[in-house]
């Protein structure tokens, strides 16, 4: 792509150069109408970035408006860098999830690393200290060199940035499927902590106030990144120049400087230079304030020579922030940054006109209405068509996959990469930085204590995209419900969520239908489970070899422990405890892991989910936990009861379980019916527990030897050494990576 921004407006129109930058004929005509003239090259570059799918959400915006975003605990919802939720005692958590899919497909190490850095900046730009990071990742099957490389390098990139910056990576999830072949999904989530009166926003209030640039100098890395992330990426092409490069050591100092600056009343507003860099931060801050900004491009710090206004405005170089400070007090803020060895310089001022004006070498090279850039993006109303496979799946009778040996099938399931231990990945992460991690990766939900209080928060990321593929609306409901089950099983009350909506090409009517219907499911579950959406991200055009990925709306959820005493482990705790199954089990295998290993594909109906039942069971279990009646709790997910039983024995306590069931062994052990938990209860608490949790069925006992024994209709169908099962589970992914 040329960066000769001296191209004349006539040539831009005649050669349709705007199309190279991602704009349509209709959008270009609308821009001319808004300006009442032709735009120059710098201006068309700014429009191409701000009107890109990545920055504007022009396709998904009508659907996003459906989400519930308000609740008594929500202090700040969508619209800023991250959402803010009250946790009492004048404290709040700040959190958001963000994708870095296209960059990670091209440069997996740098793409994943800068994804972590970017979402951390979103959180501390609100004034919050980052206290925890999570991730949600998708890769192709680990049966080929390319997907193994992507997996390994993405993990290495996440570890590099997170470990260097000192924010603990406390949780996450990884799933594998052929639909993500060579097109990984890399979603990063960060949680921060602040006091209510410390909340900051990206504002440019007050004409005459000073615009400060703080952080690393601007280079040519990442130019065009917003447009690059708004279309299908051909991994065979060299798109590496669109991937920015990060430096966690600079970001560590930047965090300290920004958090100190946020405590000064000289600061008016602050925002990360994320997607579209200086363009998005300046235009969005001005648009939100009803003002304008004038900047001198000659003052922008650079690390490369002869950078022009086009490059400076569209670079996505990392570790940069834009601040607006009171006129006459800019030195106070600059001094704070210099104390932390972070350069800060005044590059402009707030103006009364609602205009973004750029000056270079004494000439005005850009003059655009900020509202047109940031707020008046045309909405795409795309056609929706029910996916051809859906009716066929709905018409299928539910069948039970043929299983010769339930013990051998359990072993196979435990070795499936989506189910197997992700210790190979999270052992590379610093999970203990800060010293407040109670439960780290591998638990149903991560648990982080809140310093100076008896409170803690539970955090999880989750989504079973196979269910959403077979039935987008039901699958959307399940994604929210499963995230909430993770929070409840840990002993916390779900508060709110952030979503990362990852889909294929929305101009394909069947893909847009998947997006539309899954959002309907997500909305219904948010309302039923009282978990508003406070922030999020949309990533479209995720295609693998011309085919869309499975629709994957990642859910990041945060819950609150009013007392640390409510924290509940997912593994069995002591021999003699009673084992209970909460919820009913049906023959439901559509989109299941058992269907995957028996059929090699997914079809049929997704497991049914009644949201009223889901909400009732979650509240009952949480009440039992808060009453001190539950020793361990684990939600039933991929692989069903069999996998949950095995995982509940995987600890250094060397415990096992003896279970007796009645019915069809395959259904009982491997169905993925919803709204179910596996819990253990002291014998003396059984009566009290059963009085609270209506559908709890006592199915067995925790044993003092590491053996998992399951009888069905009196027949022994599983008798396996738990430690050997644990070894299979732990070694599955390392073995695949070596093969």
Catalytic positions: 54, 100
Cα 688 to Cα 624: distance, rounded to the nearest angstrom? 8
In this structure, are residues 440 and 432 in contact, taking their beta carbons and an 8 Å threshold? yes
- Helices of type H across 554-708: 593-599, 611-626, 640-648, 665-670, 686-692
**CA angle (340 as vertex; 336, 346 as ends), nearest 5:** 50
- Taking CA atoms, 75 is separated from 83, 247, 513, in Å, by 8, 32, 33
In this structure, are residues 261 and 125 in contact, taking their beta carbons and an 8 Å threshold? no
Coil, helix or strand for 61?
helix
Cα 452 to Cα 28: distance, rounded to the nearest angstrom? 55
376, 529, 518: which is closest to 68 by C-alpha?
529
In this structure, are residues 247 and 121 in contact, taking their beta carbons and an 8 Å threshold? no
**The residue to which tokens 């959180």 are assigned:** 123
Cα 418 to Cα 672: distance, rounded to the nearest angstrom? 14
Cα 384 to Cα 158: distance, rounded to the nearest angstrom? 36
Coil, helix or strand for 156?
helix
In this structure, are residues 129 and 192 in contact, taking their beta carbons and an 8 Å threshold? yes
Cα 403 to Cα 703: distance, rounded to the nearest angstrom? 27
Coil, helix or strand for 18?
helix
Q: Measured in whole angstroms, how far is the alpha carbon of residue 577 from the centre of its chain?
A: 36
Which residues, including other chains, have CB under 8 Å from residue 737's CB and lie 6 or more apart? 142, 148, 151, 152, 424
Phi, psi (degrees; rounded to nearest 5) at 128: -95, 145
Structure tokens at 571: 């593994």
Cα 460 to Cα 126: distance, rounded to the nearest angstrom? 21
In this structure, are residues 458 and 446 in contact, taking their beta carbons and an 8 Å threshold? yes
In this structure, are residues 325 and 205 in contact, taking their beta carbons and an 8 Å threshold? no
618, 510, 541, 616: which is closest to 229 by C-alpha?
541
Cα 503 to Cα 61: distance, rounded to the nearest angstrom? 14
Query: Would strands 292-296 and 355-360 be described as parallel, antiparallel, or unpaired?
Result: parallel
In this structure, are residues 230 and 52 in contact, taking their beta carbons and an 8 Å threshold? yes
In this structure, are residues 490 and 567 in contact, taking their beta carbons and an 8 Å threshold? yes
Phi, psi (degrees; rounded to nearest 5) at 555: -110, 120
Cα 734 to Cα 714: distance, rounded to the nearest angstrom? 37
In this structure, are residues 630 and 702 in contact, taking their beta carbons and an 8 Å threshold? no
**The residue to which tokens 């099957």 are assigned:** 141
């Amino acid at each position: 792509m040329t960066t000769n921004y001296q191209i004349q407006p006539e040539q831009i129109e005649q050669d349709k150069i705007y199309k190279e930058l991602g704009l349509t004929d209709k959008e270009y005509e609308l821009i001319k109408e808004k300006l009442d003239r032709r735009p120059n090259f710098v201006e068309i570059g700014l429009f191409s970035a701000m009107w890109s799918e990545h920055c504007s959400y022009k396709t998904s915006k009508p659907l996003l408006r459906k989400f519930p975003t308000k609740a008594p605990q929500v202090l700040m919802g969508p619209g800023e860098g991250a959402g803010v939720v009250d946790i009492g005692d004048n404290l709040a958590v700040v959190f958001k999830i963000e994708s870095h899919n296209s960059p990670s497909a091209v440069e997996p190490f740098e793409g994943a690393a800068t994804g972590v850095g970017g979402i951390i900046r979103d959180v501390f730009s609100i004034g919050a200290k980052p206290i925890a990071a999570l991730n949600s990742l998708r890769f192709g099957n680990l049966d080929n060199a390319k997907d193994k490389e992507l997996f390994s390098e993405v993990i290495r990139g996440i570890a590099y940035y997170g470990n260097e910056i000192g924010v603990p990576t406390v949780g996450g999830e990884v799933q594998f499927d052929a639909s993500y072949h060579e097109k990984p999904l890399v979603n990063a989530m960060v949680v921060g902590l602040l006091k209510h009166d410390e909340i900051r926003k990206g504002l440019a209030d007050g004409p005459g106030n000073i615009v400060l640039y703080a952080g690393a100098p601007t280079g040519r890395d990442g130019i065009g990144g917003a447009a690059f992330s708004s279309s299908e990426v051909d991994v065979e092409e060299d798109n590496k120049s669109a991937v920015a490069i990060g430096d966690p050591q600079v970001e560590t100092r930047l965090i300290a400087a920004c958090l100190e600056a946020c405590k000064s009343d000289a600061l008016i507003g602050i925002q990360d230079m994320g997607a579209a860099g200086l363009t998005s931060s300046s235009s969005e801050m001005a648009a939100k304030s009803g003002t304008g900004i004038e900047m001198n491009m000659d003052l922008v710090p650079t690390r490369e020579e002869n950078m022009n206004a086009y490059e400076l405005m569209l670079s996505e170089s990392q570790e940069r922030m834009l601040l607006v400070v009171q006129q006459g007090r800019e030195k106070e803020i600059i001094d704070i940054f210099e104390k932390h060895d972070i350069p800060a310089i005044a590059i402009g001022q707030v103006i009364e006109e609602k205009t973004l004006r750029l000056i270079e070498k004494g000439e005005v090279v850009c003059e655009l209405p900020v509202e047109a850039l940031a707020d008046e993006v045309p909405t795409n109303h795309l056609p929706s068509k029910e996916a051809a496979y859906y009716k066929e799946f709905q018409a299928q009778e539910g069948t039970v996959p043929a299983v010769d040996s339930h013990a051998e099938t359990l072993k196979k399931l435990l070795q499936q990469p989506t189910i197997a231990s992700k210790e190979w990945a999270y052992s590379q992460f610093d999970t203990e930085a800060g010293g407040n991690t109670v439960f780290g990766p591998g638990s149903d939900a991560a648990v982080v204590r809140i310093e100076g209080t008896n409170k803690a928060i539970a955090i999880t990321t989750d989504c079973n995209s196979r269910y959403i593929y077979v039935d987008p609306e039901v699958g959307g409901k399940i994604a929210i419900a499963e995230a909430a089950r993770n929070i409840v099983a840990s002993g916390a009350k779900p508060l709110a969520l952030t979503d990362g909506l990852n889909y294929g090409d929305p101009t394909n009517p069947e893909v847009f239908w998947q997006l539309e219907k899954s959002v309907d499911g997500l909305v219904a579950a948010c309302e039923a489970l009282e978990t508003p959406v406070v922030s999020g991200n949309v990533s479209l055009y995720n295609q693998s070899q011309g085919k869309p990925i499975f629709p994957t709306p990642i859910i990041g959820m945060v819950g609150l422990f009013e007392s640390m005493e409510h924290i509940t482990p997912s593994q069995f705790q002591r021999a003699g405890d009673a084992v209970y199954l909460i919820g009913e089990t049906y023959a439901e295998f559509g989109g299941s892991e058992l269907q995957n290993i028996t059929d090699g594909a997914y079809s049929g109906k997704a497991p049914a989910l009644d949201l009223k039942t889901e909400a009732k069971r979650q509240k009952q279990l949480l009440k039992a936990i808060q009453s001190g009646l539950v020793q361990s709790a684990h939600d039933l997910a991929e692989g069903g009861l069999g996998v949950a039983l095995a995982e509940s024995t995987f600890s250094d306590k060397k415990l096992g379980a003896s279970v007796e069931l009645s019915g069809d062994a395959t259904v009982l052990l491997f169905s993925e019916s919803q709204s179910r938990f596996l819990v253990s209860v002291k014998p003396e608490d059984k009566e009290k527990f059963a009085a609270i949790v209506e559908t709890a069925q006592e199915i067995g006992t925790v044993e003092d030897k590491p053996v998992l024994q399951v009888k069905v209709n009196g027949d022994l169908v599983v008798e396996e050494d738990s430690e050997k099962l644990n070894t299979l589970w732990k070694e599955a992914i390392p073995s695949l990576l070596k093969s």
